[in-house]
Amino acid sequence: QPVTFKQRLVGQEIEEGANITLTCELSKPGVSVEWKKGTQILESSEKYQVKQKASVNELHITKVVPEDSGDYSCVCGDQKTTASLNVKARPVTFKQKLSNQEAEEGASIVLSCELSKPGVQVEWKKGTRILESSEK
């Protein structure tokens, strides 16, 4: 009797930073499967943990980011189940806002702010004028 999927993968939407588990169940226990994102085969790593308990197969994805969005498949021989994962990006917020400063004429000051996500482009302005990098 050929192996079939008793429970197929279900598409999910999740917020950035969370952990998620994709689950499917086969008609027979202990049958090996292959997990894929698109055409890429997924191996167990820090990001992905592949688990099998009897006939239930799980793919755990840790700390999801928007780039983790896509179609995930569990493949067993010529049988396959696929579902979409949509990771919603968390909005960027200021963790630390600018504070007013006073300085003597000719002295240097440093203004700094902290964002909730690394690597986000920021734009510095004085009034409505955008400030470019310079010696000043």
Which CATH number characterizes residue 29's domain? 2.60.40.10
Total structural domains in the chain? 1
Please tell me whether the overall predicted TM-score, pTM, comes out greater than 0.95 for this model: no
**Is position 9 within any domain?**
yes
pLDDT for residue 74: 98
**Is position 94 within any domain?**
no
pLDDT for residue 17: 93
Contact between residue 65 and residue 85 where contact means Cβ atoms under 8 Å apart: no
CA distance 110 to 101: 9
CA distance 98 to 114: 9
Domain membership of residue 28 as a residue range: 5-88
**Is position 25 within any domain?**
yes
**Is position 105 within any domain?**
no
What is the band of 136 on the pLDDT scale with cuts at 50, 70, 90?
Answer: low
